[in-house]
Structure 1
Amino acid sequence: MPTDTDFSGKTVLVVGGSSGIGNGIAQAFRARGGNVHVWGTRASADEYDPMDGSDLTGLGYSCVDVGDPDAIAAAVLPFPSLDVLILCQGTVVYKRGEFERAGWDRVMAVNLDSLMHCARKFRPQLAESRGAIVIVSSISGLKANIGNPAYAASKAGAISLTKSLGQAFAADGIRVNGLAPGLVDTKLTKVTTAHPQRLEGALTAIPQRRMGTPEDMAGAAIFLASPLASYVTGHTLVVDGGLSL
């Protein structure tokens, strides 16, 4: 008997699903019967290394640079219809590069602008299926980030956009929600997780005393996209082990 988290027969597109959190989410939907396609930045799926947290087994793949609105517009629809859209794209520029125009523009283009472009592109398909969008932001969008102003601003924008799209798309039968991860061990967080002293300091600030995993984030995404969250709209669920408390 199907359960509320059974996605058999459903189509799922995970933008940014080639590694890290997005990949964990993609594989979680696949494990629950979903037909899952991911967008990534490399020319082919073969270029991803499993040692970097990439498992593209059983997933469709397309190379789409979401930092380019024209690339999003030109991307071929992976399915005749679409039930779930996960927007997990993200980038960061370290060494204070986001204080410069090039760094700021690139981060905002990928982390914020592309969310709107993707949501607009797939709105007709999601309206037809009465589907769901899940936007992955960050708890950095809830506070200051001394070294990465574009990252923090873009994630704050993502949280706000989740509210606005939740309201705007509800008339189409589309539910738009989000999740805000805390510290998760991915390529983007190696600046912390790959340095024992930095990691130790970070863990002391987390009440659960551990990093999150892509699987932790996937659980939240599955819930938000499922009938279990049928009356949840415009909400961003914080998934951070208590870090933001």
Structure 2
Amino acid sequence: MNLFNLKGKTALITGTSGGLGQGIAIGLAEAGADVVCVARSSSQEAVERAKALGRKGAAIEADLSDAAGLQKVFEEALTLTGQIDILVNNAGTIRRTPAKDHSEKDWFDVIDLNLNTVFLLSQLAGRHMIERGSGKIINICSMLSYQGGINVPGYTASKHGVAGLTKAFANEWAASGIQVNGIAPGYMITDNTAQIQADEKRKASITERIPAARWGTPEDIQGAAIFLASSASDYVNGHVLCVDGGWMAR
């Protein structure tokens, strides 16, 4: 199982105060990685879980939608660890409003965090990884990287963009020993889907379409993240892996 062993690697994961980001951070730590967790609020649970596994763990609190502060975040992570082998761009937000009522603020808030941050942080990590001749970047995409959704035009546009960036970076950086891939989660039980979960009729209709007959959990993402962060995926590049219980196949 050495293909999946992350011992000696350091992962920088964004959006780790809960949900998928926290689950991914814990999963990578279980596979042997040290972790730096970045979020607007506390990532203490993920850090403590990593340390309990015998890994190094550190937390950085930052507003990732502030483009001017991303350089500082990345430099702090390097100061704490000395190197970044794995970047997971997970942080994101969603605003649910019909397109005709979608405000400019909602649009820009979503695009800034979900898309601009992915570009800028990947650029910073990419430069570091190119110098070192290796690295893994994992972007969290969405089913809405493929579909239009309902009442989420900004989110849909951002996640289509993230899938495109994944392929664009992979094309440019593959020859430098860097793999850039994405994970497209299906419907997950997280805070981002709380509004849909509260609508019993809609939740039931979604569940009926999922061949696995259930919504996913953060733990369901861990295996895909470990694979894409490890040497097992050294010849996988520019791919978006659906972890969706079969939603896209229905």
Is TM-score (shorter-chain normalized) higher than 0.5?
Answer: yes
Q: Secondary structure at the match of 2:60?
A: strand
Rounded Cα–Cα distance in structure 2 between residues aligned with 1:226 and 1:55: 20
Rounded Cα–Cα distance in structure 1 between residues aligned with 2:84 and 2:179: 13
Q: Secondary structure at the match of 1:238?
A: strand
Q: Which residue in 1 is equivalent to 2:121?
A: 118
1:84 pairs with one of 75, 86, 90:
86
Rounded Cα–Cα distance in structure 2 between residues aligned with 1:143 and 1:195: 20
- In the alignment, structure 1 residue 159 sits paired with structure 2 residue 163: yes
After superposition, what is the alpha-carbon deviation per residue over 1:177-204, rounded to whole angstroms, capped at 9, x for unaligned?
A: 1110110000101112244433222100
How many residues matched?
236
1:143 pairs with one of 144, 147, 151:
147
Rounded Cα–Cα distance in structure 2 between residues aligned with 1:56 and 1:79: 14
Return the TM-score normalized by structure 2: 0.89
Rounded Cα–Cα distance in structure 2 between residues aligned with 1:111 and 1:211: 22
1:108 pairs with one of 107, 111, 125:
111
Mean Cα deviation higher: 12-21 or 125-134:
125-134
Rounded Cα–Cα distance in structure 2 between residues aligned with 1:95 and 1:115: 23
Q: Which residue in 2 is equivalent to 1:21?
A: 20
- In the alignment, structure 1 residue 61 sits paired with structure 2 residue 59: yes
Mean Cα deviation higher: 86-95 or 181-190:
86-95
Partner amino acid for 1:125? H
1:191 pairs with one of 192, 195, 205:
195
Mean Cα deviation higher: 126-135 or 113-122:
126-135
* CA displacement at 1:74 relative to structure 2: 2.0
Partner amino acid for 1:21? L
Q: Does the CA contact (< 8 Å) of 1:84 and 1:126 recur in 2?
A: no
Rounded Cα–Cα distance in structure 1 between residues aligned with 2:43 and 2:140: 22
Partner amino acid for 1:226? S
Partner amino acid for 2:119? M
Rounded Cα–Cα distance in structure 1 between residues aligned with 2:84 and 2:171: 20
Rounded Cα–Cα distance in structure 2 between residues aligned with 1:215 and 1:129: 31
Displaced runs of 4 or more, over 6 A: none
- Residue segments in structure 1 that go unaligned for 5+ positions in a row: 47-53
Rounded Cα–Cα distance in structure 2 between residues aligned with 1:63 and 1:99: 29
Q: Which residue in 2 is equivalent to 1:38?
A: 37
Q: Does the CA contact (< 8 Å) of 1:89 and 1:110 recur in 2?
A: yes
Rounded Cα–Cα distance in structure 2 between residues aligned with 1:71 and 1:17: 18
- Residue segments in structure 2 that go unaligned for 5+ positions in a row: 52-56
Q: Which residue in 1 is equivalent to 2:241?
A: 237
Structure with bigger helix share is 2
Q: Secondary structure at the match of 1:9?
A: coil
Do the aligned partners of residues 45 and 180 (structure 1) sit closer, same or farther apart at CA in structure 2, a change above 3 Å counting? Answer: closer
Q: Does the CA contact (< 8 Å) of 1:18 and 1:56 recur in 2?
A: no
